[in-house]
Amino acid sequence: MKTSFLFTSVLFLSLTLCQNINAQTLSDAIKDAAKTEMLVVQDYVKLDNNQKALVERLIIAKEQESHEFVYGYDINKPKVKEAKNRIESKFLRNMAATLTDEQMSAFKIYYSKKQKF
């Protein structure tokens, strides 16, 4: 009886730790992707330090939402398309609030090229 309880407890603990490690890995991957994208955005749009921090947070938020609602799902399903459009429109709206008009026009050029791939 004690052995089965101990085995069940160890199994549950192992599964919980694996999920936690996987979540940390995903979070780190999203942050690394955001930093990489920030370098590319910086080439297209000259950002000051405040804008860099805000844009990086916006990119991270967009990627986190995309991982939750879009990536790994069938993009042809209406709910997934709707989620993707909602996430992208929210991202572009927040970017427009963060960037100047000139910066935003340069960013739109970059973003449209990125969407083609």
Q: Tell me the pLDDT tens digit for each residue of 5-43.
A: 444 544 444 555 455 445 557 677 888 888 888 888 888
Please give the pLDDT value at position 21: 47
- Supply 16's token pair: 């919980």
Identify the burial level of 8 via C-beta atoms within 10 angstroms of its C-beta, where 0-12 means exposed, 13-18 middle and 19 or more buried.
exposed
Please give the pLDDT value at position 22: 52
Pairwise CA distance, residues 103 & 33, whole Å: 21
Identify the burial level of 59 via C-beta atoms within 10 angstroms of its C-beta, where 0-12 means exposed, 13-18 middle and 19 or more buried.
buried
Q: Tell me the pLDDT tens digit for each residue of 66-87.
A: 888 888 888 888 998 899 999 9
Give the domain ranges of the chain. Answer: 31-116
Is residue 100 left, alpha or beta, with left meaning phi > 0 and alpha meaning psi from -120 to 50?
Answer: beta
Pairwise CA distance, residues 84 & 78, whole Å: 10
* Contact indicator for 103, 50 with CB cutoff of 8 Å: no
Please give the pLDDT value at position 89: 94
Report residue 111's pLDDT band, with 50, 70 and 90 as the boundaries: confident
* Whether the predicted pLDDT of 93 surpasses 90: yes
